[in-house]
Each structure stands twice: as structure tokens, then as C-alpha cells.
């Protein structure tokens, strides 16, 4: 998981063409308040070179205790067992909240997971309610223009833009001067999301996702068979909710990269920051050690005599240099120090991407030193990539409906805030927590 502070397709396209393009259309005549249709009609949705995937939609009540709330249409994917005898179905959640199960199973990650379990299980995943191709989505804006106008260069959606680790009083003053504006924006974004997607956010959360998974399983395998599950990162929270909500339904369960469920469910969401940053800093130290050991032939930012300490300092110096560049370039800046920190956070997640992380950081440094077209292109390409543990994470501009229209939603916030205790704190409390974690645990926090 990751905590740190896009045109419609022609509706006349055949179902198969649309689904191969990454869109799973809603059935003709779909209406939120019509009775759920629980039939499963699988269609091929394989990518070139990655055959065997099937996709469908499955409808569930938005409120499992009140049919009058309407329904959700869950986007699903299945990678059938490649070996016999088939031993059952394995459900998978890649994390987030906000990670797309469809994207991961449709990609090379599907082959990796299926091979790792021996090929005798159908691998099934879905976009949980509010996420990805599932309808309704936790959408807050209809376009990038609306999104940009609302935030108006605020640091909230991207991360703070500061130099160093908040040890300078000038830096602290620059940070806290944004407090009142930030408080107003945070209140308004809640109002904006509820107005844009009314009667959606209250039906999003981990408990609902678990009930949906059980319903999918019963439609596929029947209620008599045990439910098998593999969750990664936030997906381990889904797994732990599952084994506690339905202990008599548990089959084989794998919890990979475990999130603390007590902290997740019993504390305000902002308190998770310290937990996440501590883990990030440990991982960054591992990256620095591996980079120094690999040397310049395998790690782009290493030199012949680099140490883990020198790699860490090189990265901190780069962040400061990017901050200075943004301050001088203003609105014309191609990237910010917050952008670079976000990339570091994301790409530390998967050690297989560490070479990509080092080459990207090197490209940013080269762009600052020598802003040629080639260097600019390489840096921008790197900044446009995002990785989850097994594949690509969806961006905020994921399609909101069957046509692929962007939604600009808040999946992570919707799920985590739904699950956690009400913070009942002020924006200043959160600002103070950011400063505390940055000063005492890691400057990577910002």
C-alpha cells in the first residue's frame, strides 16, 4: 500500500473488442436500482502474448442489508487452471486500496501467480467496489481541468514541496502558512466527492469487499466449498477481515507483505503515516546498500567507490536540487521534489524495479544538469510509469464507466477512511504529524 500526501470509446464496438481494449461494458439496460443479475457470462479479454484470460461482470447489492440502496457491477477476471485436476478457485487482491485485480491478472503477474500455485487453481480477481472498472466508482471530478482548477497547485494531491527535513524554521514557516488554505480544501473535497458521486462512498470499504468476494465464490464454486485467497499489502487487510468475518468458509489463505490490521481499523488514517514511512525508510536503506554493492555497471547512480551512505546522500541532494529547480522555474517546471519522492515511494515497493528507480533518478539528475530533449524525454517517461507489487497501479484518471470516461476518483481515501476510526482531529494535528515523522523518522515522508 502507499500513503503520501483519460476519451470515450465508440459504443457500437462489439463486446469482445471493447473488453480487449481494457473496458468491460455494462449490459444493455443496466440500471443501478434494477434487481442484481448474478449470471456470469465470460468473454475472452486476453492481451497479445498473454492468452487465457476471461472477463465478466457480477452484480451485488451496494448494501447487503438493504436492497433499496441499489447495486454495484463488479468487473471480474479469471485465468483458468492450466493443469488438471483443478483444485478450486484462488481469489487475489493486489493491494492499494485502489489496486486493480483485473490489471494484475491480465498482465504478466497472472502467469507468475498461477505458476507459483502449481497451475491447478482458477485465478480470479476483481476490482472492488469504487475501484477501477467496477461501477459505481468513487469519482470526484469529470475532467483533468476540473481537478486542476479545484486544487490550484495545492501540495495536497502531490506532496509537500520543501527543502531538507523541516529543520529550518523558514521551511517550517513555509509549510504551516499553507494550513488554513489546506483545511478549507480538505473540507471542500469531501463536499465535492459526495456531490459528484452521491450515495456511493458510504458503500465502499473492506467489509463490503469481503462480502462481495464470498458472493462471487458462491456463484462460481457453491457455498459448500472453502474459499482460497491470496492478498498482497492492503490485500492482507482484506484477507484478515475475511477470516474473521467468515471463519467457517476459510480454505487456503496467503497474506503477503502484511499490513497491521489493528492500526488500520482502530486508529485514524493519518496515524498510518509513521508506520508506512518507517517501512519505506528501511526499504530505501536496502536499495542504497544494493546499489552500492552492484556498482555503476548495474546501478546508474552508483560510482566506483559508492557506499550505502553516499547513495542516500546523493538522493537527498537530488531532492534538494529538484526543489531549487522548481522554485526557480515556477509553473513551467517539468517535475517537483514531491514528484520524485512519490516515484521513490512507488518503485521501492518492488525490488525488481530498483534498477528502473536508479536509472530514473539518474535521468532526472541529467535533465537538471543538461536539459537536452533526449534527457527530458527519458525523465518524463520515467515519471509517467507507476508500479504496484505485481503490475501497474491505476491512476486517479481511470475510467468511471463502461465507455472509459475518466473519473478522477479517490479510491484509497474512500476505502481507508471508511475502515478507520473517525480521526476527530484538526488539519493542524495532521501537519504536526507530518513534521514529526519527517524530523524523527524519514525526510522521505513529505
Give ∠ CA 176-180-185 in degrees, rounded to 5. Answer: 115
CB-CB contact of 406 with 399 (8 Å) = yes
Looking at the whole model, is its pTM more than 0.85? Answer: no
pLDDT at residue 10 in the model: 20
DSSP annotation of 419 reads H
Most confident of 43-52, 208-217, 341-350, 352-361: 208-217
Gyration radius (Cα) of the chain, Å: 22
pLDDT at residue 408 in the model: 65
Domain residue spans in the chain? 15-137+201-257, 159-176+268-388+410-445
Most confident of 22-36, 264-278, 369-383: 369-383
Alpha-carbon gap, residue 18 to 16, rounded angstroms: 5
CATH domain 15-137+201-257 topology: Rossmann fold (3.40.50)
pLDDT at residue 109 in the model: 86
Residue 308 has pLDDT above 60, yes or no: yes
**Cell numbers found for residue 88:** 478450486
Could you give the 3-state DSSP secondary structure of residue 131? coil
pLDDT in tens, 324-369: 999 899 878 889 998 898 889 888 878 888 999 999 999 999 999 9
Query: Can you list the alpha helix ranges (DSSP code H) found in 349-395?
Result: 354-369, 373-383
pLDDT at residue 205 in the model: 96
Confidence of residue 13 (pLDDT cuts 50, 70, 90): very low
pLDDT at residue 1 in the model: 55
Alpha-carbon gap, residue 174 to 182, rounded angstroms: 13
pLDDT at residue 386 in the model: 55
Alpha-carbon gap, residue 129 to 134, rounded angstroms: 6
Amino acid at each position: 500500500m502507499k500513503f503520501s500526501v483519460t476519451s470515450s470509446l465508440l459504443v457500437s464496438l462489439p463486446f469482445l473488442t471493447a473488453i480487449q481494449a481494457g473496458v468491460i461494458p455494462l449490459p444493455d439496460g443496466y440500471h443501478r436500482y434494477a434487481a442484481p443479475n448474478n449470471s456470469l457470462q465470460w468473454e475472452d479479454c486476453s492481451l497479445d502474448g498473454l492468452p487465457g484470460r476471461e472477463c465478466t461482470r457480477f452484480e451485488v447489492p451496494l448494501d447487503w442489508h438493504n436492497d433499496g440502496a441499489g447495486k454495484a457491477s463488479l468487473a471480474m477476471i479469471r485465468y483458468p487452471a492450466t493443469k488438471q485436476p483443478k483444485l478450486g478457485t484462488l481469489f487475489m487482491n493486489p493491494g492499494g486500496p485502489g489496486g486493480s485485480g483485473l490489471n494484475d491478472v491480465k498482465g504478466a503477474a497472472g502467469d507468475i501467480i498461477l505458476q507459483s500455485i502449481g497451475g491447478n487453481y482458477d485465478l480470479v480477481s476483481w476490482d472492488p467496489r469504487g475501484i477501477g472498472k467496477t461501477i459505481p466508482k468513487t469519482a470526484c471530478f469529470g475532467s483533468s481541468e476540473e481537478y486542476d482548477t479545484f486544487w490550484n497547485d495545492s501540495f495536497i494531491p502531490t506532496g509537500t514541496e520543501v527543502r531538507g527535513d523541516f529543520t529550518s524554521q523558514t521551511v517550517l514557516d513555509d509549510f504551516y502558512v499553507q494550513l488554513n488554505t489546506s483545511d478549507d480544501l480538505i473540507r471542500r473535497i469531501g463536499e465535492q466527492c459526495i456531490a459528484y458521486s452521491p450515495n456511493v462512498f458510504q458503500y465502499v470499504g473492506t467489509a463490503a469487499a469481503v462480502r462481495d468476494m464470498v458472493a462471487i465464490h458462491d456463484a462460481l464454486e457453491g457455498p459448500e466449498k472453502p474459499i482460497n485467497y491470496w492478498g498482497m499489502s492492503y490485500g492482507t487487510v482484506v484477507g484478515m477481515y475475511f477470516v474473521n468475518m467468515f471463519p467457517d468458509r476459510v480454505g487456503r489463505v496467503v497474506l503477503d507483505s502484511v499490513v497491521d490490521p489493528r492500526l488500520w481499523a482502530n486508529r485514524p488514517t493519518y496515524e498510518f503515516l509513521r508506520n508506512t514511512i518507517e517501512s519505506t525508510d528501511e526499504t530505501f536503506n536496502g536499495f542504497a546498500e544494493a546499489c552500492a554493492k552492484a556498482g555503476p555497471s548495474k546501478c546508474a547512480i552508483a560510482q566506483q567507490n559508492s557506499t550505502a551512505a553516499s547513495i542516500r546522500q546523493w538522493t537527498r541532494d537530488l531532492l534538494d536540487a529538484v526543489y531549487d529547480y522548481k522554485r526557480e522555474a515556477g509553473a513551467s517546471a517539468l517535475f517537483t521534489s514531491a514528484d520524485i519522492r512519490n516515484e521513490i515511494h512507488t518503485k521501492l515497493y518492488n525490488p525488481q524495479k530498483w534498477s528502473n528507480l536508479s536509472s530514473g533518478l539518474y535521468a532526472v539528475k541529467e535533465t537538471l544538469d543538461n536539459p537536452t530533449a533526449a534527457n527530458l524525454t527519458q525523465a518524463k517517461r520515467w515519471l509517467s510509469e507507476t508500479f504496484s507489487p505485481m503490475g501497474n497501479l491505476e491512476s486517479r484518471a481511470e475510467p468511471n464507466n463502461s465507455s472509459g470516461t475518466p473519473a478522477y476518483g479517490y479510491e484509497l481515501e474512500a476505502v481507508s477512511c471508511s475502515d478507520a476510526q473517525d480521526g476527530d482531529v484538526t488539519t493542524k494535528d495532521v501537519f504536526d504529524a507530518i513534521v514529526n515523522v519527517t524530523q524523527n523518522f524519514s525526510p522521505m515522508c513529505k
